[in-house]
Chain A
Amino acid sequence: MEQPDNLIHQPVRLKIMAALKALPAGEKLEFVRLKALSEATEGNLGSHIQTLEQAGYVSVEKDFAGNRPRTRIALTRKGQHAFENYVAYLRGIIELQAKP
């Protein structure tokens, strides 16, 4: 059987990808919101985002909203494709094992 994408398979990274995939195309999610959605600590989340960014799955944009520094994360096309493949992989396992 095909192997899962280990970059996405890790639980926190799976939540990050799922949260970003649920947004309308091209939308970005603020770091603080992603932290709440992924239920990860700040440091842990930052580290996983970096891993996903290095893989080209997410893009990170840092700017200022007024005087407040803001970090926003978006799913890249490559990330979207990888996530869809991962979901298809999971569904494949269930279908395969459901067959008599």
Chain B
Amino acid sequence: MKKKETFSEKRRDIRLLLVDDEADFRNTLAKRMQKRGLNVLQANGGEECLSLLAEDPVDVVVMDVKMPGMSGIDALHHIRAMDIETEVILLTGHAATQDGIEGIKSGAFDYLSKPVRFEHLLGKITQAHNKIIADRQEKETAEYKVRIQQQMIATERLAALGTLAAGVAHEINNPLAIINEAAGYLSQLLKKEALAQIPHKESFDKALLKIENSVKRARNITHQLLGTVRKSNALLVEVDLPELGSEIINLFHKEIKDRKIEVVQNEKRIKPIWTDPDQLRQVLINLVGNAIHAISDQGCITIQTESTAEGATISVSDTGTGIPKERLEKIFEPFFSTKPPGEGTGLGLFVTREIIEKLGGSISVDSDIGHGSRFTVRIPSRHPEMQDTNLVE
């Protein structure tokens, strides 16, 4: 009958250890418990019980209080000292309630007086097991809460940093603009006839040029930093990934030709995804640009797109220098760059990852020193801001 089967199934999870020096009593009880679906181990005394538990803890221990050698209460103390999830049910002598109460004070789940009614004992064992499950769940929930809180703090800190960075970048643009104009003005003055013959004119020109170039560099950095804190006015449309890939390759047409790089694109037709094409363009420009940079002369860039269950992936591979394993973690860090100072800002991959995560996706990298690298971007078929909308396709 169905009801009995359900109970049996539940009890199949329960691992029970029977501890009693009376072998007959123990064996009979064990057989009956096994018939009901429990996993039963046996021990004839306190010491054997403890060594069995040390090897492989059980859920519930049913133990006689009065045993030669180590008493049930002593064994109970040892079990509690082991700090395992096991619950102990004591079997006391008839009318020896003192033992039972002492047992509970020492950490037993409960006690029953002999002679024990089988159903009663089974019920207690089930109760003890349920307590273990409930305690375990509580512990997991508490641990989960701690993890979530830590994640929230980290996220808040990142968000605060992001906002701080954006704020700083925004503020810096103002004095940068002034430096730009002032330096430009000096350059203009130096071009005048009256100043054509001044001493050190070349040095003036040189220094001013450095100022102007540095302003451009600083501007790139602030613009990239500010680019990551975009308000969510994303324009969401159906994007054909292979087409976007081709578009970006065309953008780099000249560099590709100059460096004699071969470009391979898989021709697969994939399902379009709903996302922000401008953001994806920025990502691809970064990845393809990096791929071109990695190939010093002659090589191949491969762009592959695939449909997945959750959306689509696009990967950009190059046959360039590759990235050493120790660096693979660092490349996504802000201001990490392999380019000489002045070329690039070191923010490319950092910003790229931020953008992709905002699009609901993820980015990963494989690399082989001397053979090249592959960056794979996963994008969900629906932008996170569209989760609740129903689209008619």
Whether chain B is bound by chain A comes out as no
Query: What is B's interface to A at a CB cutoff of 8 Å?
Result: none
Binding site for B on A (CB under 8 A): none
